[in-house]
């Protein structure tokens, strides 16, 4: 007879490897259709997500495999309000208001056994960011929520059921803070790329795996908020050129190339990829006025570009 606990652990490890493989193809934004399709385990199809936020595939006996927060655009369709807390913790809402609901009971069992799960955060419709492994580390029936932390697969080890050593607690708090930053960055990228219709503002490249969201003013700046008007969708080459002040964008959306680069002689990549852009306008900007690049932010950034030249 198969060992249910051993099979549970193996399914979770296979799920993590499946997500590693998906990331190698798609990067940090994973398509929901691939998560719904899942992977084969001993002749059984194992999905990673379902219609509800707390998901347990049929192959697992009692504890969920994943928890999901829907994208911003879909939150109006669901009665949950998951949130990011301070001090390295994520608050994840119960399903419904009954603490004894089987989904809530399953997460509570995962907490007691310190079983690793996957946390999916919706970036935009159909695309999700995955953090794994995550652990349920607290239960607050009064607030109808669980406390969740992220850990490092390379260093996690067995601990006494429901109890974590001080080093484990500190490690999870630190890793969870880093994970929250990753999620915010991915959410910013998703919003910017959607506004620019998955296209580089400079060269019209449309391969999303080669596109990034550039901050006009860096996030350390007082006006460096992760909002679309402070972003530009750029391919990796033009993002690097923008960050290093090789390429600048004036407030009227005209591209400028630094003088020394214009005078440099090199091959066709430099000529077509940078020099010939000088004096041209951006080829792609958001349609909605409120999403277009902020002229004041562009002007401040352009002055930095001019000083660099």
Write out the E strands in the chain: 30-31, 39-41, 44-46, 54-55, 66-69, 83-84, 90-93, 117-124, 127-140, 145-150, 211-215, 231-235, 247-249, 255-257
Are 297 and 171 in the same domain? no
Structural tokens at position 26: 């798609």
- Of 123, 134, 69, 74, whose CA–CA distance to 95 is shortest? 69
Calculate the CA dihedral of residues 200, 201, 204, 210 and round it to 10 degrees. -10
Are 153 and 266 in the same domain? no
Are 205 and 262 in the same domain? yes
Domain boundary among 173, 193, 213: 193
Are 151 and 225 in the same domain? no
Are 173 and 114 in the same domain? yes
Are 94 and 122 in the same domain? yes
Strand partners, 281: 254
Are 44 and 181 in the same domain? yes
Q: Provide the pairing of β-strand 117-124 with 66-69.
A: parallel
- For the chain, the domain total comes to 2
- Structure confidence by residue, pLDDT tens digits, 93-134: 999 999 999 999 999 999 999 999 999 999 988 999 999 999
- Of 265, 263, 272, 232, whose CA–CA distance to 248 is shortest? 232
Are 23 and 164 in the same domain? yes
Strand partners, 212: 234
Question: Does 182 have pLDDT greater than 50?
Answer: yes
Domain boundary among 193, 210, 245: 193
Residue 155 domain boundaries: 4-193
pLDDT level of residue 75 (50, 70, 90 thresholds): very low
Tell me the pTM: 0.82
> CA angle, 164 as apex, 163 and 168 as ends, to 5°?
175
Determine the Cα–Cα distance for residues 39 and 11; give it in Å rounded to an integer: 10
- Structure confidence by residue, pLDDT tens digits, 192-249: 999 999 999 999 999 988 999 999 999 899 999 999 999 999 999 999 999 999 999 9
Q: Is 118 helix (H, G, I), strand (E, B) or coil?
A: strand
């Amino acid at each position: 007879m198969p060992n249910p606990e051993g099979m549970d652990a193996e399914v979770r490890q296979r799920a993590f490897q499946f997500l590693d493989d998906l990331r190698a193809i798609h990067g940090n934004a994973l398509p929901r259709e691939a998560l719904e399709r899942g992977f084969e385990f001993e002749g059984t199809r194992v999905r990673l997500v379902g219609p509800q936020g707390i998901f347990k595939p049929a192959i697992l006996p009692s504890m969920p495999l994943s928890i999901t927060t829907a994208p911003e655009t879909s939150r109006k369709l669901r009665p949950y309000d998951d949130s990011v807390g301070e001090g390295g913790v994520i608050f994840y809402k119960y399903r419904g208001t009954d603490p004894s609901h089987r989904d809530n009971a399953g997460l509570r069992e995962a907490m007691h056994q310190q079983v690793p799960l996957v946390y999916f955060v919706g970036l935009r419709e159909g695309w999700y960011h995955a953090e794994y492994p995550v652990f349920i580390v607290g239960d607050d029936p009064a607030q109808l929520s669980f406390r969740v932390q992220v850990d490092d697969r390379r260093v996690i080890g067995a601990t006494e059921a429901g109890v974590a050593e001080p080093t484990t607690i500190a490690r999870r708090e630190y890793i969870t803070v880093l994970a929250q930053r990753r999620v915010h960055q991915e959410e910013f990228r998703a919003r910017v790329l959607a506004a620019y219709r998955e296209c580089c503002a400079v060269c019209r490249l449309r391969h999303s795996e080669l596109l990034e969201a550039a901050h006009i003013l860096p996030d350390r700046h007082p006006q460096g908020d992760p909002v679309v008007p402070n972003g530009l969708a750029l391919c990796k080459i033009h993002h690097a050129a923008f960050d290093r002040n090789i390429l600048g964008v004036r407030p009227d959306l005209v591209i400028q190339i630094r003088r020394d680069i214009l005078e440099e002689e090199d091959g066709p990549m430099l000529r077509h990829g940078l020099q010939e852009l000088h004096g041209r306008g951006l080829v792609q900007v958001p349609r909605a006025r409120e999403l277009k690049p902020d002229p004041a932010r562009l002007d401040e950034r352009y002055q930095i570009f001019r000083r660099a030249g």
